[in-house]
Structures are given as C-alpha cells and as structure tokens.
Amino acid sequence: MAPSVKWELTKAQQKRYIDALTQELVLLRARLGISQAELSKLIGVFTSDFRVFIVVTALLSILPIWMMYRVNADTNPYLSIVVLLAVGLFSIYFSAIRQVLAMGFVYPAFEAVKRKKLLPFLLCVLLAYFFHHSALVMLLMYPVYHMKLKRQTDMLLILPLILLVYVFRVPVFNFLRVVVGIYYGGSTKETGAFLALVLLAIFLLYSYLIPDSGKLDEQTVGLRNLLILTVVIQIFSGINYVAMRMNYYFLLLVPLLLPRIAARSSERNRKMAKTSVVVMVLFFTFWYYYRAYTTADILRVYPYIPAWAI
C-alpha cells in the first residue's frame, strides 16, 4: 500500500493518472496496453480520483505477492521479506505500475508450474503479457523449474557455464536481441547492476553448499533452478535495462528459496546455516533502511508524505 500514500511521487504524475481514467479506450490501449486500459476505464466508471486508481493498482500488485509468500513460506518469513528488499524490487512498486501489475501473475503462474498445469500457466503468462510485454519471459519458468538438478555436483557444470555467459555477455546478448527482436533488446551499455549480480551469485553458491541434497524436496530444487536462471538474466541486466526488467519476475521467487535452503542444511553446516540467517536478516535490514533514508535509492521513496496530510 506504500505507493498509494506517496503523495510527492504521485502528484508529479497526477495528469497521467487522470488521463488514464478519462481518455478514450482506444487511446488508452495504444498507450497502456490492453489490460491496464480496461482496468483504468473500469475504475474510471466509479471515480476520476487518481488516488483511488493508485490504491486499487497497489492492492492488485501487492496482494498476489503477499499471498505467494504466505502460502509458500517454509520457515523464517522475515528472512524472505528482507531478501525481497535486498534484491531491489520494493522501489519498483512506486513507478512501474504496468509491470508490477504483470508481476502479480507470478503467484498463480508459479502455483500452476508446481502442479504441472500447463494451460493455466500459459493463461497466466498471457494475462500478464497484456499488462506488460516483458512478461513473456515467464514462459521460461515452467521448463526451468522442472529440470533435474538436485545433485551438488551439478554446480561443477553450472558455474563454468555461468562464467562463460558472463565473459561473452555482450555478443550473446546481441545474438538474443536479433532472435527475440529489437523491441526487447535495445542497445548495450553499462547499467551499474553488478552488485546485484554478485549478491545473486552468492545466494546460488549458498543454495548448493549449505543443504543436504537428500533433504531437498521438489519445490526447493525447482526454486534453485530458477535462481540459476535469475543469475544468468542478471548478467545481461548489467548491460541492458530491458533485461533488468525481465528479471523482476524471477527475483520475486528468490526470497522463497533461501529459508528453505537454511532449513535443509546438512549436519556439518547446521551451525553455519543458523548463523547465516541471523547475519542476512540483520545486514539486509540495515542496508535497506540505510539506502532508503540516505536517498541512495534512485526513486527516493522516503520519507512518506500521506495524501491526507497535505
């Protein structure tokens, strides 16, 4: 609900939100995409107050993710929350309205993947696509989740492949840009996303070194597979902003994995796993508030100024 009370940010975009409630549907579809255009016109039937629009979109984007964490929380839900903040997704909910609405479909898509329900999964991706075209990348979720990569020795193959992708990231990305299309590619330039890549790589090593392979269930293995994909996409995020946006859908799943890994540690790593959970919770909590209140965060979402306080 935080975006709905951030008056300073929404006031600067007031005209855009009012237009979204009052423009002709054909113009909205061209500017916003089919799903958000229909949603905007539906809200516009009841009100022209742009703040109501923001509240509704905040609920539609946040509630599915809350439900996903609530349903899939294995242990230590607070660790999941601070990891969500650490991977940098929270601020996105203050600006990328169309995409965060699309990201809300990650929850039903993930549930369909777990249950091997291909048609419902494809329907979720299609609906998300109508909000934001980048959601097509969610199609990778189904096959990657079900890959059989349970052994710790698989890391010996995975890590060299990831290093190769990193070394040749520019030519590989340019090839993918030709295959997928320029709309999804754009030019390559440094985006400054290297720190996030390092963090995700550490998470990946943690997910292979800490657990006992015999304790890993299908969901934990599937989430770890998706973390591998997240690391690979994050490599391209360092040279292209569109690739960064495509990774948002998978970054939402990283917070579900780490508590599961810590809870399934091997006997020799049990003490290390418990210590790592405490360290991660304390460090990521501190890091988030430090960046937020020192305006290091690019969107400067703090301090909140509620609309009713103006």
Q: What is the mean pLDDT of residues 166-182?
A: 77
How do residues 225-259 score in pLDDT, each as one tens digit? 999 999 999 988 877 777 788 899 999 999 999 99
Question: Which range marks the domain in which residue 140 is found?
Answer: 2-309
Q: Please report the pLDDT score of residue 151 as a whole number.
A: 73
Q: Please report the pLDDT score of residue 195 as a whole number.
A: 83
DSSP labels for the chain? Answer: -GGGG-HHHHHHTHHHHHHHHHS-HHHHHHHH-HHHHHHHHHHHHH---HHHHHHHHHHHHHHHHHHHHHHH--S-HHHHHHHHHHTT-GGGGGT-HHHHHHHTTHHHHHHHHHTT-HHHHHHHHHHHHHH-GGGGGGGGHHHHHT----SGGGHHHHHHHHHHHHHTHHHHHHHHHHHH-HHHH------S-HHHHHHHHHHHHHHHHSB-GGG--HHHHHHHHHHHHHHHHHHHHTT-HHHHHHHHHHHTTHHHHHHHHHHTB-GGGHHHHHHHHHHHHHHHHHHHHHHHHTT-STT---S---GGG-
Q: What is the mean pLDDT of residues 158-170?
A: 87
Kindly tell me if the per-residue pLDDT of 300 is higher than 80.
no
Q: Please report the pLDDT score of residue 167 as a whole number.
A: 87
How do residues 45-64 score in pLDDT, each as one tens digit? 666 666 777 778 788 888 99
Q: Please report the pLDDT score of residue 299 as a whole number.
A: 55
Domain count, the chain: 1
Q: What is the mean pLDDT of residues 4-17?
A: 47
Confidence of residue 8 (pLDDT cuts 50, 70, 90): very low
How do residues 28-48 score in pLDDT, each as one tens digit? 444 455 556 566 666 666 666
